[in-house]
Amino acid sequence: MLGMLLGRSPGLWQRGARPVLLPTRAVSDKAKSAQEAASQTANPGYKAFKNDRRPTNFDKKVLVWAGRFKKEEDIPKYISSEVLDAARNSVRIKVCYIMIALTLLGCLAMTITGKEAAKKDHTLLRMNTEKKAKWKAEVEKAQEAAVGKPQ
């Protein structure tokens, strides 16, 4: 009850706020459908040019990869922006899935190589101790050479 008074109820959003915030959407959809119907009766097979656009070469590749068309030659001269947006979204999702799969394969490969290195005792700790021992030996040789020269 308190949520409804404060305006945080989902029912209140659906009943009151939505028609107030989006009154033009319903009107524009009706006007658009009326305009499309009028243009198709006057010119059958012709769509309103307002939402159409000429696809670029990249857009054609996206449309083919998304599965909208079989070949690039099948793509019409003008396509609607909705078709192109839908194709881009599906390609974007496919690319994300590929990136997820590659990330998982990379993690799996790093885990496997890390375990093999640990079995061979080829760890970072051992490599660091060997490197520090080498540096220490070089410093001792340099000190011996420095001590031996003045005498």
Write the CA distances from 82 to 18, 50, 87, integer angstroms: 24, 12, 9
Average pLDDT of 23-28? 48
Instruction: Find all residues with CB under 8 Å of 105, minimum gap 6, and list them.
Output: none
Q: Tens of pLDDT along 51-64?
A: 788 999 999 999 99
Is residue 62 a contact partner of residue 87, using CB atoms and an 8 Å limit?
Answer: yes
Q: How far apart are CA 53 and CA 77, in angstroms?
A: 8
Nearest to 63 by CA among 78, 48, 45: 78
For the record, the structure tokens of 112 come out as 């496997």
Q: What is the pTM of this model?
A: 0.50
Q: Tens of pLDDT along 29-43?
A: 555 555 554 444 444
Rounded to 5 degrees, what are φ and ψ at 71?
Answer: -135, 165
Lowest mean pLDDT across 3-7, 36-40, 99-103? 36-40
Domain residue ranges in the chain: 10-46, 51-143
